[in-house]
Amino acid sequence: MQKLCLLIPALLICFQGLGQEDPFAKRRQAMVRTQISARGIKHKETLWAMRKVPRHEFVPAAYRASAYDDRPLPIGYGQTISQPYIVAYMTELANPSPGMKALEIGAGSGYQAAILAEIVDSVYTIEIVPQLGQSASLVLKQLNYRNVEVRVGDGYHGWPEKGPFDIIVVTAAADHIPPPLIAQLKDGGTMIIPVGSPFQVQQLILVKKKRGSITTRSLLPVRFVPFTRSTN
């Protein structure tokens, strides 16, 4: 009888859950279709992760209705959650796959870490602003991301005890790429750094390490044709 008493409420909760639909699911699918696939993102794992991760859980309540809009949103403390397309573009560039280990400098809302966590084995993310780090950690825990570790601290030195990493994503713009991060990048690994002010069209820098040699490639996620050659 006692067991039955416990079972009935549990079953009720389960059935209730089955009947409940994610009110943002349709918008998320539309976001992937119109903002991401339509702009040429083809990486299957990335598209799958973008369809799955509930972006609205990572934005402040006041902006939840705009969570799937085609723009970055403020998350407080002078930080933004990047435009969905930029997150997808950065993820595709990193070319993540199962078995990989990723480091993120600047957890912010935790959204990028969640996207990576859907694909790779483990994600380590560092946030220097304690309030943001704590809130990202809480959301990731609530969403049951067990393969993400959040640390509050200075990301400049990376996370040497967990390195080397296949992927390093730096979300905070800096005037130089910290040498410790280059040291913690695996040979053949990829580092991505966005450059540009918040809300602005961002440029991404892709850093590759091959046999100890470092090269960079700047990438423009938007179409930009500044000069017509024929005018020369």
Any contact of residue 205 with another protein (CB under 8 A)? yes
In angstroms, give the least distance from the CB of 58 to another protein: 16
Task: Give the binding-site size for another protein (rule: CB under 8 A).
Answer: 48
Q: Are strands 213-219 and 203-210 parallel, antiparallel or unpaired?
A: antiparallel
- Residue with Cβ nearer another protein (25 or 222): 222
In angstroms, give the least distance from the CB of 47 to another protein: 23
- Residue with Cβ nearer another protein (60 or 143): 60
Any contact of residue 61 with another protein (CB under 8 A)? no
Q: Which long-range contacts (CB under 8 A, 24 or more apart) does 179-186 make?
A: 180/156, 181/103, 181/105, 181/156, 182/207, 182/209, 182/214, 183/158, 184/103, 184/158, 184/159, 184/160, 185/209
Strand ranges, E, within the chain: 73-76, 79-81, 101-105, 122-127, 148-152, 165-170, 185-195, 203-210, 213-219
Any contact of residue 219 with another protein (CB under 8 A)? yes
Q: Which two tokens stand for residue 104?
A: 């993120």
The amino acid sitting at 214 is I
In angstroms, give the least distance from the CB of 26 to another protein: 23
Spot the catalytic one: 66, 82, 109, 213: 82
In angstroms, give the least distance from the CB of 117 to another protein: 25
For residues 72, 74, 80 and 84, what is the CA-based torsion angle, rounded to 10 degrees?
-30
Any contact of residue 129 with another protein (CB under 8 A)? yes
- Nearest-angstrom CA–CA distance, 210 and 212: 5
Any contact of residue 78 with another protein (CB under 8 A)? yes
The reply to whether 82 belongs to the active site is yes
Binding site for another protein (CB under 8 A): 62, 66, 71, 73-74, 76-78, 128-130, 154, 156, 175-179, 182-183, 195-201, 203, 205, 207, 213-220, 222-229, 231-232
Active site positions, annotated = 82
